[in-house]
Chain A
């Protein structure tokens, strides 16, 4: 540790700025309030999470309300663009591996509070997914790393810079021999440039990109098929027939927003005369995409490749030319699968050029090569799928990672800089990274948290959040966008870009300069002007690359396939294990995000845990039931984890998602769930057969938010096939017969002014939960912790009901987002003894929190049970820094108060005021609810039902429109459009 400099002793501080920002002062504060001191008085036990969120208040106080400028400006001289109470919106970009998501960030008086998609960015198109919505909370994570650490002791940036100066000199002399950088994958011109600079300074140095979860299989497959690792980008709106092989393209895989939007667009219909696409899915785990399928084939993940091979041959037998088929042997499929492939092949042929086959990231390279061949055969390339070369990209490479470990072991690499990753947690169990890192002489870790890796490194450097740093990114199609900070680094972190530049130059450069330097080469014309425009838009217009032409190498594909030994068929003694990134925590990097931890999984509805998911048959064969702890044995490694029965999972196959079981994630994520990485090996990072499961006598309690999975035959999610719909276009509203709904007295007419209403198109809804997290972020909805979720007290205003239909082994899955239905004749209002919930003139069922005394009668009488009760004071102990994530336009509710969806009443008012100030009516689409804005598939439409031209009225006019539980005469303002499936008549007949 460095000796404290004499700044404090000798000089007086000159300004508040210096005092606040001075590292020495921070260090002093830390000594004054040592780590954990503030945790001592946090109330724990019952609501662990509150303890979890207790923070180092000292720093949070200093951190409050800072703007992304070089100096702090007090509001005595109010910045021109900041009006207290009126939020500002800035464009930025979330870099996420090779992807990037253009976003618009809402900022209140200098602190960002909400993230939305940027309409101009091709990968968000104005929408967002759960990870983007939740990433705002990461910014204010009180567990973020707050100090430079040297050997575990608090140090300073200047100390590190001094250290590196010496190293830089040394490595400059030997051209970087023995130096290595372990980076995360990136797709950014500035980063690529910094990497270039680094490699120029240290030509002998190693640069390795590593991701625990990535699309490397896809690139490898396309490399086999075309000779180049190109990036596929799907245009699902152009596909009439889609076949997904173990690909959760709608939810958890790459580019899911664009894919979901395209898919939904290809499925949207206005009346029974319209047509919709057809989705075939073959998968071993039950995914959101599988839930949307018109035909879902339950196949073990390891057997998926057989389907791909069979499809190639089937296409050939139907007359499609295929060299690959000529050079490979056909496979014998079980009858059910053969029928499926046969019907599918016919459908694909019939829709040549208007179809798409895609495989998931976990499938081996050969499958992706085959998929390329199939798409090529079907002339889909250039239509529903296009390929791009990845420029300025750091593509992850697991082989390089293995070599690096090897070099570390042999001492060839003595100095390792880890930029942003957490390999000690997420490296394969048998890679030996944990040993290798101990051998290295010098290790530097840049990370947002003092995580598993940080504690083993010599130096730890706090990493800035993307909302705190300058940068740039390319979307998968090459579109350039800029990462713009909205706030000064709260904890003095720096970005990976700045660190790479520091490593390369030996002296620090601010990210702003690095980025601007680069963009001066990109932007044409007046730089200042175009730069400002770029910052405003976030995206550089027309910067997308051109799709590249590819040439198929059928011989290579055939060779790769023929070289592959057939996969073992799983059995009770040799089960199949699946490693999939958690849709919520991804590879574990979001483990300390309370919103994502508490979010019930779309399919299993488990919250705060992962589990060994298996089919009922498998569980019966093993003699286990829900919450029984079992011992997993795989290639000599063991892990104990609880069982959860998952209908739709392939037999003799289990799924244990990655990302859980961290021990240094922070107060929220540490110790939650079970670490599947402990079984993941270099050879089998995705799935493998050979797992043994032994039951134990232990039981582990889990929190599941939906106890009952069947609709009990009730007309809740109304669904029909396209054929049935065409025969009976009014099937949805006619599903329930009831006497005329009359009132004893004259009801309020609601015919004047704005009347708010909502439509949710169940045919478009995929169940991705983006609305739930968007709502949580917008409306300051607290998290309550595992124990409270288990008690049935989760607070989500907008919940995602998931039902299974049909056979327990191979069920269909349907989703229904349910928030307050804003009944005109609301049962909750009649029973409240104190009139805390009443109706307003615009048809909203409003809550007066101040008036509520908490009888819970309204919730009892709500047929939809959308009301949420503050059983405890869930927000009292939130640290100051988490307060900054809260929306100042929405009341934070106290204990003992009922709350519920308001249709984002604060947004409605904001829109109305804006319109009134301009002396006009609110325009249709001007006010969007948070759920509507986030929805990747545009399934939610909100607006004025009194305006006959509004989108919401047009939607409600559709014949699929129905109101949930309308027979109770509650007259809900939210209605649903019935779900449709488009099964292949041929397969329908056979089944």
Chain B
């Protein structure tokens, strides 16, 4: 290694603090899933599951009565359901970005957060998928969306972005699930080996697919993981690009915009990191994982939020510029209407939360203060929900012919379903926290200083911190 890089390494604080060993990592993480269920967990899942069941009840009500129980009208044919869909899909993006893109870029700090970021992705995508599923008028005919061979040779319309959505989000979910599960296998095997009851052993044994940690298995595993990472990477960019085409390919001013794909992806990553941050802050506090998810991890995520938040802010201003520069009166009107029309309150909520708030991350103090960043992450989530609301609703409510203009307001069912989707999300997430190692043990171990092949040689290639650990580890051994 060159001197320069050496110096760089030297400046870096270790990714995992608290003098962890391989054993302590396994112990710490596995024990969370193995210990007796904490009372608080029951309380938490009690609340979130009730909300989830309320959600299921509302879905039943919707199917029974019809879409009319929502606040939709003509011209606003899409409301909270689609807003929620885009919101949840966006949230999912951080997980895939962390696990796949940061993996390919060898960002080792990702190992502490990738597992539950990926879990978050899956659950967010599940929440997301529910909304386009139930928002159709005749849910019992929704299978027409799939290219099922039939005697009438009727196919779905391959020109429709909604169909692209079906494929894009479907693929995304499948790949994300595989990726997450592949990453889980070594950890499940560790837990299997620690299992004390027969059922645990069998269940974990089944899901760990006979993992023994052999050299060849690791070889195959690494390759598979790399391939899946490679496969997921374009999906990070494509899914939200495709979702954005729902709007971008239409003729409606405010939707018909070429900037949408990159803008949506940036927004998705932005909101995703805000969500990861929110969840990570809670989880590390409750489960005492400050050593694994250090302030450094959080700070890095905050920096990503700063970057993507600025991109989103740029997109907002760019839209305005183009609306004026194009000279298209409908386009100009739509954007002025967003800022000053009946939905101005939503627009300015969005701008405040998404553009102004993240700018505070320029300050190191803000970036590294857990309470402040927690509040900010929540605000970003609020802002990103409003961004989708502004795009979907304000554009539709006032389009070409003023005679059609109408105001849309949600009903209690709209609101209930949105809250209900959080119930579903948190229920799934709590189950995940309870039964699955929430941090990728195997991967964390790989970034421990001990994992370095030169660790035990102590030949001066290592930085001082690692050396101290090495002495300790050596002493123990």
Q: Is B404 positioned at the interface, with any CB of A under 8 Å from its CB? A: yes
Q: Is A664 positioned at the interface, with any CB of B under 8 Å from its CB? A: no
Asked if B162 contacts A711 (CB within 8 A), the reply is: no
Q: Is B272 positioned at the interface, with any CB of A under 8 Å from its CB? A: no
Question: Taking the nearest CB of chain B, how far is it from the CB of A605, in angstroms?
Answer: 9
Asked if B144 contacts A851 (CB within 8 A), the reply is: yes
Asked if A833 contacts B75 (CB within 8 A), the reply is: no
Asked if B67 contacts A854 (CB within 8 A), the reply is: yes
Asked if A868 contacts B251 (CB within 8 A), the reply is: no
With a cutoff of 8 Å between Cβ atoms, the chain A residues found around residue B73 in the complex are: 791-793
With a cutoff of 8 Å between Cβ atoms, the chain B residues found around residue A859 in the complex are: 74-75, 77
Interface residue from A816, A894, A970 paired with B251 (Cβ < 8 Å): A970
Asked if B157 contacts A708 (CB within 8 A), the reply is: no
Q: Is B317 positioned at the interface, with any CB of A under 8 Å from its CB? A: no
Asked if B156 contacts A834 (CB within 8 A), the reply is: yes
Asked if A851 contacts B137 (CB within 8 A), the reply is: no
Asked if B137 contacts A854 (CB within 8 A), the reply is: yes
Given contacts A791-B73, A833-B163, A860-B250, A803 and B403 within 8 Å (CB-CB)? yes
Asked if B251 contacts A861 (CB within 8 A), the reply is: yes
With a cutoff of 8 Å between Cβ atoms, the chain B residues found around residue A853 in the complex are: 136-139, 141-142, 144-145
Asked if B74 contacts A868 (CB within 8 A), the reply is: yes
Question: Taking the nearest CB of chain B, how far is it from the CB of A874, in angstroms?
Answer: 9
Given contacts A708-B405, A833-B163, A965 and B137 within 8 Å (CB-CB)? no
Asked if B249 contacts A793 (CB within 8 A), the reply is: no
Asked if A833 contacts B156 (CB within 8 A), the reply is: yes
Contact with B along A791-806 (1 / 0, CB 8 A): 1110000010111000
Q: Is B289 positioned at the interface, with any CB of A under 8 Å from its CB? A: no
Chain B count of residues within 8 A CB distance of the other chain: 50
Residue of A nearest to B79 (CB): A856
Asked if A897 contacts B67 (CB within 8 A), the reply is: no
Question: Taking the nearest CB of chain A, how far is it from the CB of B442, in angstroms?
Answer: 42
Chain B positions 106-157 with a Cβ under 8 Å from a chain A Cβ: 135-139, 141-142, 144-145, 154-157
Question: Taking the nearest CB of chain A, how far is it from the CB of B417, in angstroms?
Answer: 16
Q: Is B258 positioned at the interface, with any CB of A under 8 Å from its CB? A: no
Of B221-229, B394-402, B420-428, B458-466, which stretch is located at the interface? B394-402
Asked if A834 contacts B407 (CB within 8 A), the reply is: no
Asked if B405 contacts A855 (CB within 8 A), the reply is: no
Which of A713, A830, A861 lies at the interface centre, i.e. has the most chain B CB atoms within 10 A of its CB?
A: A861
With a cutoff of 8 Å between Cβ atoms, the chain B residues found around residue A964 in the complex are: 401
Asked if A895 contacts B66 (CB within 8 A), the reply is: yes
Asked if A803 contacts B402 (CB within 8 A), the reply is: yes
Q: Is A832 positioned at the interface, with any CB of B under 8 Å from its CB? A: yes
Given contacts A818-B401, A833-B157, A895-B138, A855 and B162 within 8 Å (CB-CB)? yes
Residue of B nearest to A969 (CB): B251
Contact with B along A397-409 (1 / 0, CB 8 A): 0000000000000
With a cutoff of 8 Å between Cβ atoms, the chain B residues found around residue A897 in the complex are: 137-138
Chain A positions 843-897 with a Cβ under 8 Å from a chain B Cβ: 851-857, 859-861, 863-865, 867-873, 894-897
Asked if B74 contacts A793 (CB within 8 A), the reply is: yes
Residue of B nearest to A43 (CB): B65
Asked if B77 contacts A860 (CB within 8 A), the reply is: yes
Asked if B251 contacts A855 (CB within 8 A), the reply is: no
Asked if A896 contacts B162 (CB within 8 A), the reply is: no
Cα distance A254–B135 in the bound complex, in angstroms: 49
Contact with A along B382-414 (1 / 0, CB 8 A): 000000000000001011111111110000000
Question: Taking the nearest CB of chain A, how far is it from the CB of B281, in angstroms?
Answer: 38
Q: Is B71 positioned at the interface, with any CB of A under 8 Å from its CB? A: yes
Asked if B156 contacts A835 (CB within 8 A), the reply is: yes
Question: Taking the nearest CB of chain B, how far is it from the CB of A945, in angstroms?
Answer: 23
With a cutoff of 8 Å between Cβ atoms, the chain B residues found around residue A710 in the complex are: 402
Residue of B nearest to A855 (CB): B136
With a cutoff of 8 Å between Cβ atoms, the chain A residues found around residue B137 in the complex are: 852-856, 869-870, 895-898
Cα distance A871–B413 in the bound complex, in angstroms: 14
Cα distance A147–B136 in the bound complex, in angstroms: 46
Asked if B157 contacts A832 (CB within 8 A), the reply is: yes
Cα distance A873–B76 in the bound complex, in angstroms: 19
Residue of B nearest to A789 (CB): B73
Asked if B251 contacts A708 (CB within 8 A), the reply is: no
Question: Taking the nearest CB of chain B, how far is it from the CB of A705, in angstroms?
Answer: 9
Q: Is B174 positioned at the interface, with any CB of A under 8 Å from its CB? A: no
Question: Taking the nearest CB of chain B, how far is it from the CB of A154, in angstroms?
Answer: 38
Contact with B along A694-727 (1 / 0, CB 8 A): 0000000000001111111110100000000000
Asked if A818 contacts B403 (CB within 8 A), the reply is: yes
Q: Is A733 positioned at the interface, with any CB of B under 8 Å from its CB? A: no
Size bracket, chain A contacts = 35 or more
Interface residue from A711, A854, A855, A873 paired with B402 (Cβ < 8 Å): A711
Given contacts A831-B249, A863-B251, A857 and B77 within 8 Å (CB-CB)? yes
With a cutoff of 8 Å between Cβ atoms, the chain B residues found around residue A516 in the complex are: none
Asked if A835 contacts B154 (CB within 8 A), the reply is: yes
Q: Is A788 positioned at the interface, with any CB of B under 8 Å from its CB? A: yes
Q: Is B166 positioned at the interface, with any CB of A under 8 Å from its CB? A: yes
Cα distance A869–B399 in the bound complex, in angstroms: 18
Cα distance A854–B142 in the bound complex, in angstroms: 9
Cα distance A852–B67 in the bound complex, in angstroms: 14
With a cutoff of 8 Å between Cβ atoms, the chain A residues found around residue B78 in the complex are: 856-857, 860
Q: Is A827 positioned at the interface, with any CB of B under 8 Å from its CB? A: yes
Asked if B68 contacts A871 (CB within 8 A), the reply is: yes
Asked if B75 contacts A831 (CB within 8 A), the reply is: no
Q: Is A915 positioned at the interface, with any CB of B under 8 Å from its CB? A: no
Q: Is B252 positioned at the interface, with any CB of A under 8 Å from its CB? A: yes
Question: Taking the nearest CB of chain A, how far is it from the CB of B79, in angstroms?
Answer: 10
Question: Taking the nearest CB of chain A, how far is it from the CB of B329, in angstroms?
Answer: 7
Q: Is A968 positioned at the interface, with any CB of B under 8 Å from its CB? A: yes
Asked if B74 contacts A867 (CB within 8 A), the reply is: yes
With a cutoff of 8 Å between Cβ atoms, the chain A residues found around residue B145 in the complex are: 833-834, 853
Q: Is B449 positioned at the interface, with any CB of A under 8 Å from its CB? A: no
Chain B positions 52-94 with a Cβ under 8 Å from a chain A Cβ: 65-68, 71-78
Given contacts A831-B160, A872-B66, A707 and B401 within 8 Å (CB-CB)? no
Question: Taking the nearest CB of chain A, how far is it from the CB of B36, in angstroms?
Answer: 48
Given contacts A867-B74, A872-B68, A830 and B403 within 8 Å (CB-CB)? no
Q: Is B186 positioned at the interface, with any CB of A under 8 Å from its CB? A: no
Cα distance A871–B330 in the bound complex, in angstroms: 29
Residue of A nearest to B145 (CB): A833
Question: Taking the nearest CB of chain B, how far is it from the CB of A869, in angstroms?
Answer: 6
Residue of B nearest to A713 (CB): B329
Interface residue from B159, B162, B406 paired with A707 (Cβ < 8 Å): B406
Chain B positions 156-195 with a Cβ under 8 Å from a chain A Cβ: 156-157, 159-163, 166
Cα distance A963–B138 in the bound complex, in angstroms: 34
Cα distance A869–B161 in the bound complex, in angstroms: 20
Asked if A712 contacts B333 (CB within 8 A), the reply is: yes
With a cutoff of 8 Å between Cβ atoms, the chain A residues found around residue B251 in the complex are: 827, 861, 863, 968, 970
Chain B positions 400-455 with a Cβ under 8 Å from a chain A Cβ: 400-407
Question: Taking the nearest CB of chain A, how far is it from the CB of B396, in angstroms?
Answer: 6
Question: Taking the nearest CB of chain B, how far is it from the CB of A724, in angstroms?
Answer: 22
Interface residue from B66, B77, B142, B405 paired with A856 (Cβ < 8 Å): B77
Cα distance A965–B330 in the bound complex, in angstroms: 11
With a cutoff of 8 Å between Cβ atoms, the chain B residues found around residue A792 in the complex are: 73-76, 406
Chain A positions 813-827 with a Cβ under 8 Å from a chain B Cβ: 816, 818, 827
Cα distance A868–B162 in the bound complex, in angstroms: 20
Cα distance A854–B139 in the bound complex, in angstroms: 8
With a cutoff of 8 Å between Cβ atoms, the chain A residues found around residue B135 in the complex are: 855
Question: Taking the nearest CB of chain B, how far is it from the CB of A238, in angstroms?
Answer: 35
The 8 closest A-B pairs by CB, nearest first: A854-B137, A896-B137, A792-B73, A871-B68, A856-B77, A801-B403, A833-B162, A896-B138
Other A-B pairs beyond A714-B330, A861-B251, 5, CB < 8 Å: A793-B68, A830-B249, A860-B250, A895-B66, A895-B137
A residues sitting closer than 8 Å to B (CB atoms) are 46, 706-714, 716, 788, 791-793, 799, 801-803, 816, 818, 827, 830-835, 851-857, 859-861, 863-865, 867-873, 894-898, 964-965, 968, 970
B residues sitting closer than 8 Å to A (CB atoms) are 65-68, 71-78, 135-139, 141-142, 144-145, 154-157, 159-163, 166, 246, 249-252, 329-330, 333, 396, 398-407
